[in-house]
Structure 1
Amino acid sequence: MSASITRESRWKIVVGAVLVQLALGGVYAWSVFTPVLHMGGWSKTHTQLVFTAAIVSIAVAMLFSGTLIRRWGPRPLILFGGSTLSAGYLIAGLSGTTSFLPVFLLIGILAGFGIGLGYMVPLVVAMRWFPDRKGLITGVVVAGFGFGVMGWVKLADSWGHLLENIGLSNTFVVYGIIILLLVMIGGRYMVFPEVEAGIKSLNATNCLTRREMLRTPEFYIIFAAYASLAASGLMAVGLMKLYPMELLMNSGVERASASVITGTAMGVFFSLANGLGRISWGAASDKLGRKRSVMLMAATQGCWFLLFPSLAGSEFTLYLGATLIGFNFGGNFALFPTLTADLFGADSVGDNYPVVNLAFGLGGIIGPTLGGVMGDLGDFTMAFTICGFMCFAGSFITLFLKSSVHRFAAEQDYQIEPVSNSSRS
Structure 2
Amino acid sequence: MQVNNENRWLIVAGAVLVQLALGGVYAWSVFTPELQAAGWSRVQTQLVFSAAPACIAIAMLFAGTLIRRWGPRRLVVVGGTVLSCGYLAAGLSGTTDFIAIFILIGVVAGSGIGLAYMVPLVVAMRWFPDRKGLITGTVVAGFGLGVMGWVKLADSWGHLLENVGLSNTFTIYGVIIITLIALGSRFMVFPDSNGRDEVETVKGNFSRREMLRSPDFYLVFSSYAACAAAGLMAIGLMKIYPMEVLMAKGMGRGAASVITGTAMGVFFSLANALGRISWGAVSDKLGRKRSVMLLAASQGVWFLLFPQFAGSEWTLYLGATLVGFNFGGNFSLFPTLTVDLFGAESVGDNYPVMNLAFGLGGIIGPTLGGFMGDIGSFPMAFTFCGVMCLCGSFVIIFLRSSVIEVALQADPVQGISKR
Match of 1:35 among 33, 36, 42: 33
- Residues 1:239 and 1:94: Cα distance change in structure 2 (over 3 Å): same
Distance 2:417 2:158 in 1: 53
* Aligned position for 1:97: 95
Shift of 1:205: 7.6
Q: CA contact under 8 A between 2:303 and 2:382: conserved in structure 1?
A: yes
Distance 1:139 1:64 in 2: 23
Distance 1:135 1:196 in 2: 26
- Residues 1:334 and 1:406: Cα distance change in structure 2 (over 3 Å): closer
Q: CA contact under 8 A between 1:74 and 1:121: conserved in structure 2?
A: yes
* Aligned position for 1:10: 8
Q: CA contact under 8 A between 2:204 and 2:346: conserved in structure 1?
A: no
Match of 1:245 among 243, 251, 264: 243
Match of 1:363 among 358, 361, 371: 361
Q: CA contact under 8 A between 2:203 and 2:346: conserved in structure 1?
A: no
* Aligned position for 1:329: 327
The DSSP-based 3-state class of the residue aligned with 2:245 is: helix
* Aligned position for 1:160: 158
Alignment of 1:358-397 (within 5 A): 358-397=356-395
* Aligned position for 1:290: 288
Match of 1:67 among 65, 68, 72: 65
Distance 2:59 2:7 in 1: 32
Per-residue displacement from partner, 1:399-418 (whole Å, max 9, x unpaired)? 0011237999xxxxxx9679
Distance 2:348 2:193 in 1: 20
Distance 1:343 1:219 in 2: 8
Which residue identity does 1:339 align to in structure 2? L
The DSSP-based 3-state class of the residue aligned with 2:250 is: coil
Alignment of 1:196-275 (within 5 A): 207-275=205-273
Scaled by the length of structure 2, the TM-score of the pair is 0.94
* Aligned position for 2:139: 141
The DSSP-based 3-state class of the residue aligned with 1:132 is: coil
Q: CA contact under 8 A between 1:216 and 1:405: conserved in structure 2?
A: no
Shift of 1:6: 1.4
Q: CA contact under 8 A between 1:205 and 1:417: conserved in structure 2?
A: no
Shift of 1:8: 1.4
Which residue identity does 1:36 align to in structure 2? E
Per-residue displacement from partner, 1:155-174 (whole Å, max 9, x unpaired)? 00000000000000000000
* Aligned position for 1:421: none
Alignment of 1:319 onto 2:317 = yes
Distance 1:275 1:381 in 2: 26
Which residue identity does 1:144 align to in structure 2? G
Shift of 1:64: 0.2
Which residue identity does 2:262 align to in structure 1? T
Shift of 1:313: 1.1
Which residue identity does 1:9 align to in structure 2? N
TM superposition outliers: structure 1 runs of 4+ over 3 Å: 405-408, 415-418
Which residue identity does 1:137 align to in structure 2? I
The DSSP-based 3-state class of the residue aligned with 1:163 is: helix
Match of 2:187 among 182, 186, 189: 189
Distance 2:193 2:250 in 1: 64
Alignment of 1:83 onto 2:73 = no
* Aligned position for 1:401: 399
The DSSP-based 3-state class of the residue aligned with 2:233 is: helix
The DSSP-based 3-state class of the residue aligned with 1:277 is: helix
Q: CA contact under 8 A between 1:85 and 1:110: conserved in structure 2?
A: yes
Per-residue displacement from partner, 1:3-49 (whole Å, max 9, x unpaired)? x2111100000000000000000000000000000011000000000
Distance 1:220 1:92 in 2: 38
The DSSP-based 3-state class of the residue aligned with 2:231 is: helix
What stretches of structure 1 of length at least 5 have no aligned partner? 198-203, 409-414, 419-425
Which residue identity does 2:239 align to in structure 1? K
Distance 1:59 1:406 in 2: 29
Distance 1:94 1:320 in 2: 38
Distance 1:401 1:195 in 2: 37
The DSSP-based 3-state class of the residue aligned with 2:256 is: helix
Distance 2:405 2:313 in 1: 50
Distance 1:196 1:58 in 2: 30
Distance 1:130 1:8 in 2: 12
Which residue identity does 2:54 align to in structure 1? V
Shift of 1:195: 7.5
What stretches of structure 2 of length at least 5 have no aligned partner? 196-201, 408-415
Scaled by the length of structure 1, the TM-score of the pair is 0.93
Shift of 1:386: 0.6
Distance 2:14 2:194 in 1: 21
Distance 1:253 1:111 in 2: 35
Percent identical pairs in the alignment equals 72
Distance 1:270 1:405 in 2: 32
How many pairs were matched up?
A: 404
- Residues 1:260 and 1:347: Cα distance change in structure 2 (over 3 Å): same
Which residue identity does 1:237 align to in structure 2? I
Q: Compute the RMSD of aligned alpha carbons.
A: 1.8
Per-residue displacement from partner, 1:44-75 (whole Å, max 9, x unpaired)? 00000001011100000000000000000000
Distance 2:406 2:283 in 1: 21
Match of 2:130 among 124, 128, 132: 132
Which residue identity does 2:61 align to in structure 1? L
Alignment of 1:300 onto 2:298 = yes
